[in-house]
Every structure is written in C-alpha cells, then in structure tokens.
Amino acid sequence: MTIEKELFVAIQEGQLRAFLQPQVDMYGRVLGGEALVRWQHPEKGMVSPGEFIPVAEDCGLIVPLGDWMLEQVCLLLNDPRVRAAGYSLSVNVSPLQFQHADFVEKVKSAIQRSGIDPRKLTLEVTESLLLSDVDHAIQKMVNLVALGVQFALDDFGTGYSSLAYLMRLPIQELKLDQVFIRDLRVNAESRVLVEAILMLAKAKGLRVVAEGVEELEQAELLRALEPSILCQGYWFSRPVLAEEWMANPALAH
C-alpha cells in the first residue's frame, strides 16, 4: 500500500492521535498548549508528523486530517478539567486547509457543536497563507476573529515576507521560531533579533510564545527580556498524548 492509501485508512480507522505540548508562563504555570498530531501506526508505532504531514499536504488528505484535529481540540477544550483550568489550546492549520472554501464554516460549526469559548481556540498559521490571494486570506481571518477565535503566526522570523506585509494579518500571537532560541545564549545576533521581535510584538499588542525552549537558561533569558512571554519546549515538556495531559495537567516544571 502507498503511504497515501495507508494515511487515508489511518484517518478512517482512527489511528491518528492528538498530542499536546504545554505553554508555560514565567511563574511556571501551564496556560495551555499546542496540539500536534501523531500517527499510531499498527506496525511502525508512533509516526512523527514530519513524515506524513508533507504527504498529506501533497495529496489533499491534510483537509480531513485538519478537520479531525480541529474537532479533537474542541473536544479537549470542552473537557471539564480543561475548562476549570482555563487552558487555551492551539492547532496548526495548513495553507490548503485554510484555503478551502468551507474553512470559516467548519470552524464556526466546530465551535457551535462543542459549545466551547472561541477565545480559548488559537489557529496557528504560517506566512505561506500570503502566497495566494492576500486580501481574501485576510478577509477570512477577519471573519474568524469576529467569531472570537485567535490567530498565531507560526515559525515567525524564518520566512521571506516583509514585516509590513506580515503585520497586515489580523493576528494576536507570534510564535518565535526555535532557530532563534537555539543559540540565544551564544549568539549576540540571535539575541538582538529576539529583542527586536519582542519590541515589535509589544508595539502591536501581540502575545509571544517562544518555541523550542530546551534549557532553563534560555527560558530565564527570554523572561528577563519579556516577562509576559510564554515558553514551549522540551525543557518544560515534550508533546504528550492529550489524554495523559488531561490526567496530569501540571506536567511542566
């Protein structure tokens, strides 16, 4: 069987799993997390999305996969433990999924069916959204923001778009790409870039999440630069099976 066919079957037969990676504030409190898909393959075990997301994007299966993840995240947000803790959850939205004519309706109906507070749902998009019709993409985002949903710009700082262009997007959050965090302590240039991005975010009233925080020193540096920053990365926790997280939400240190 080709991987496309296997993936099709996997979606049909419920082999996908939602994992969550916590996002932590400067006091070590978990405020929410990012949902990341995994494939519980009957023979290969847990397959990483790096191996099948590109395939799903090429063959269009990213649309049903993305629908499923959105549904899962709404279910999780509806969990009484998540509600009680006030967590926000974010989910990755692939360009093809976003460009789909039904996307706004799908999000709207997922919110209505689950009865969640839409402000707790963040859609992570990348600047590749801007490769097609920009005005149309912005209009769609505006319609979703009107529903109460939040937008995060993922992998911020690694793309090719001009800042002016990016700042036209109606987003509420920037996700600092892990390349900036990786050598924050040793590379003065990375640090200057991070400081500049933090200033920009502050001026625009955007929340910032740092990705790929693997060491305490990185978290401390980031928090010294911007106390309101949220950190996500292996130092706090790897992505964990959503059900496991629910059972023990205070996983991060």
Interface residues toward ligand G, by CB under 6 A = 21, 36-37, 48-50, 53, 62, 66, 69, 92, 94, 154-155, 178, 211-214, 233-234, 239
Residues 197 and 176 sit within 8 Å (Cβ to Cβ) = yes
C-alpha span between 105 and 118 (Å, rounded): 14
The candidate with the shortest Cα–Cα distance to 120, out of 161, 155, 165, 79, is 79
Q: What is the size of the binding site for Mn ion (CB under 5 A)?
A: 3
Does the protein bind Mn ion through residue 124 (CB under 5 A)?
yes
Does the protein bind Mn ion through residue 173 (CB under 5 A)?
no
Query: Least distance to Mn ion from the beta carbon of 13, Å?
Result: 26
Region near Mn ion per CB under 5 A, out of 10-18, 133-141, 146-154, 184-192:
146-154
C-alpha span between 217 and 28 (Å, rounded): 14
Does the protein bind Mn ion through residue 127 (CB under 5 A)?
no
Determine the Cα angle at 115 with ends 154 and 92, to 5°: 15
Region near Mn ion per CB under 5 A, out of 2-10, 111-119, 154-162, 242-250:
154-162
How many Cα neighbours within 13 Å face the side chain of 26? 11
Site residues for Na ion per CB under 5 A: 154-155, 211
Region near Mn ion per CB under 5 A, out of 87-95, 96-104, 105-113, 157-165:
87-95
H helices present in 79-215, as ranges: 80-85, 95-99, 103-114, 134-147, 163-166, 178-182, 188-204
Query: Least distance to Na ion from the beta carbon of 127, Å?
Result: 11
Query: Least distance to ligand G from the beta carbon of 177, Å?
Result: 7
Q: What is the DSSP letter of 233?
A: S
Residues in the site for Mn ion, rule: CB under 5 A?
92, 124, 154
